[in-house]
Chains A and B, each alone.
Chain A
Amino acid sequence: MSKIPEITEALARGGTSALKITESALEAAEKLNDQLNAFLEINRNAALKRAGEIDKEADGTSALPALNGIPIAIKDNICVQGMQASCGSRILGPYSPPYNATAIERLLRAGAVIIGKTNCDEFAMGSSNENSAFGPVKNPWDPARVPGGSSGGSAAAVAAGIVPVALGSDTGGSVRQPAALCGVVGIKPTYGRVSRYGLVAFGSSLDQIGVFAQQAADAAAVLQVMAGRDPHDATTADVPVPNYIGETEKNIKGLRIGVARALLGEGLDPEVRNAVEKAIEAYRALGAEIVDVDLPHAKYAIAVYYIIATAEASSNLARYDGVRYGFRAEDAPALRDMYRRTRDEGFGPEVKRRIMLGTYVLSAGYYDAYYLKAQKVRTLIKQDFAKAFSSCDAVLTPTAPTPAFRFGDKVDDPLAMYLNDIYTVTANLAGIPGISVPCGISSDGLPIGLQLLGPDWSEGTLFRLAHAYQQDQPLNAQPKIHV
């Protein structure tokens, strides 16, 4: 059952108050954070003050805004005025931004109540949350396992039932992969659909703010509010925002789902393959047409991604120099020493590794061999999808090659960790939207996710396919740690 209409309708009837709803979300967050480490900041005072204002404004006559009184958690790399934005890094620590991200402004205007900031891999770099400077988030289904990354805190907060919805950011799968590993829905919109103003930059041509929810319809309600052109972000596109909630409820009969058989082979966990095959059959039974598609360059996506993402990151993260905000190393004798020591003490190993890789691929004599080559293969990946979407409305893949793995399993082998993103990075490279939907439970009791990718601006179709699946094949299990 969708939670947003349940809450907003109860509020409209006067059956509860925003204050009560916010209080119970805060209590859950505080109670479960010892076990989950999902929140880096729980802002009780700000949340309760805001909820009180919402209750006061409700006069019982005028229509209430779309997210009225909905408690929401925000990844700690999205700027919320009055709260911290550490990005999971020591170099920013308790830094508090002086403005709201556009996405946050729009959520607040729609009546949402922000209860706190969620833990993540440092600067959104990671697939397991083990790169957070403040300790990893634990997976609510099994606290010995990773929640996925980088938006692990937001995924865990929704999976554990602390909040109905949460925001993350997705540069190579950082919303969809943790959604799959935590058994919730996660959407990465089309590049340019949601403003990046106030989202701390990692890979500027790849980054998008995304939404976690237990039900696709709730993610649709949040995207509805956030989407659209923003003069503060020149890369937002002037494309009308459809009625996503209306789209969600449409029948899927006759929609064509593409399956790239080559992506269901080597390296894929048999239980994940089995769950995805069953999901394909469920879609067929619901009236969707299943067609074969070919994405011949998808196997190169990780190589392309780790050139482009690290190149962009090495440039974006140059701003952390100890001058204008955040941490500064003490007692450096001269400016250059101050820069180097600040960045040495402030950044963790994965961030350093990626900055160096990015610096290397962009350095003189290497630009053509690595960066330009990668951008050309990126064009080929875009062309693959354009061709696939001429014969289908969405492409179905697994979201991640395995269910949640154990802490420490991949921490010494960065390349093995990167390969976890094999199914998700293509959407960021092509700029297209993608959604992860829970599609089963493994023999170890861990959730499995399927991914649907669609053409530019097809979020409505993705919600519709996700919703139809969730109605037909609900996940009949609950995480060990929950409200």
Chain B
Amino acid sequence: MVGLLTLAIRNPLMPISEADIEKIAQLAHLEITDDERRMFAPQIADIVTYVEQLNAIDTSGIEPALGGLTPEGERTESSRPDEVQPSLGQTIALEPAPDPASGHFRVPKVLGS
């Protein structure tokens, strides 16, 4: 599990191989076919090469644009009183579930995969 969280390729500027695509797919919980792997590798490599043009820009001393996008949004109080509010309830929440059982979401076995 821990191994899956780190990609083997260390150099950000290296091209992306089909093996990398398989690793990324595993991280993203996607099962992909051989055809998809062959299609995605050059496409994602192309896009990554394209976005690497950002490396040419000097961003020293520039703050990243994280969080609220407008000063007014940033200032808006976003907490609310801690009061009990009605919720969907179990019946409605379980209605769209693919496999509901006795008030729960049932899933295939977790261990041994």
Chain A residues engaging chain B, CB cutoff 8 angstroms:
95-96, 98-99, 190-192, 205, 229, 231, 234-239, 297, 300, 302-304, 306-307, 314, 318, 321-328, 332-341, 343-344, 347, 349, 352-353, 355-357, 359-361, 363-366, 369-370, 372-380, 382, 414-415, 418, 429-431, 456-457
Q: Is the CB of A239 within 8 A of B72?
A: yes
From A323, A355, A431, give the contact of B69 (CB < 8 A). A431
- Name the interface residues of B42-66: CB closer than 8 Å to any CB of A: 43-44, 46-48, 50-55, 57, 59, 62-66
Chain A residues within an 8 Å CB radius of B64: 372, 375-376, 378-379
Chain A residues near B96 (CB, 8 Å)?
A: 95-96, 98, 324-326
CB distance from A76 to the nearest CB of B (A): 16
18 A-B pairs whose Cβ atoms sit less than 8 Å apart in the complex: A98-B88, A192-B70, A234-B78, A237-B70, A318-B29, A323-B107, A324-B96, A325-B97, A335-B108, A339-B29, A355-B30, A359-B28, A365-B7, A366-B12, A375-B64, A382-B65, A415-B43, A456-B72
The smallest beta-carbon distance between B34 and chain A, in angstroms, is 13
B-to-A contact residues, CB < 8 Å: 5-7, 10, 12, 16, 20-21, 24-25, 27-33, 36, 39-40, 43-44, 46-48, 50-55, 57, 59, 62-66, 68-73, 75-78, 80, 88, 92-93, 95-99, 105, 107-113
**Cβ–Cβ contact A235 & B68, under 8 A:** yes
Specify which chain B residues have a CB less than 8 angstroms from the CB of A340 in the assembled complex.
29-31
- Is there contact, CB below 8 Å, between A376 and B59? yes
* Max chain A Cβ within 10 angstroms of own Cβ: one of B43, B88, B110: B43
- Kindly report which residue of chain A lies nearest to residue B30, judged by CB atoms: A343
- Which A-chain residue is minimally distant from B80 (CB atoms)? A231
Q: In this complex, what residue of B is CB-closest to A343?
A: B30
Measured CB to CB, the closest approach of chain A to B81, in angstroms, equals 10
- The interface residues of chain A lying within 8 Å CB-to-CB of B53 are 300, 303
A338 to B12, CA, bound (A): 31
Q: In the complex, are the beta carbons of B31 and A300 less than 8 A apart? A: no
Given contacts A191-B69, A343-B30, A365-B12, 14 further A-B contacts (CB under 8 A): A236-B73, A302-B50, A306-B51, A323-B97, A324-B97, A324-B105, A333-B113, A334-B111, A334-B112, A343-B29, A347-B30, A359-B27, A372-B64, A431-B69
> Which residues of chain A have C-beta atoms less than 8 A from B95's C-beta?
98
Q: Collect the chain A residues with CB atoms within 8 Å of residue B25's CB.
A: 356
Contact of A344 among B32, B57, B80, B93 (CB under 8 A): B32
The answer to whether A314 and B28 touch across the interface, beta carbons within 8 angstroms, is yes
- Complex-state Cα separation, A99 to B85, whole angstroms: 15
Q: Given the complex of chains A and B, what is the CA–CA distance between A343 and B26 in angstroms?
A: 11
CA distance A404 to B45 in the complex (A): 28
Who on chain B is nearest to A374 by CB? Answer: B54
CB-based contact B31/A379 at 8 Å:
no
Closest 10 CB pairs of A and B: A334-B113, A431-B69, A375-B64, A328-B98, A234-B78, A325-B96, A340-B31, A376-B59, A344-B31, A237-B73
Roughly how many angstroms separate A335 CA and B112 CA in the complex, as a whole number? 10
Q: Which residue of the partner chain, among B46, B77, B108, contacts A238 with CB atoms under 8 Å?
A: B77
The docked-state distance in angstroms from the alpha carbon of A446 to that of B63 is 43
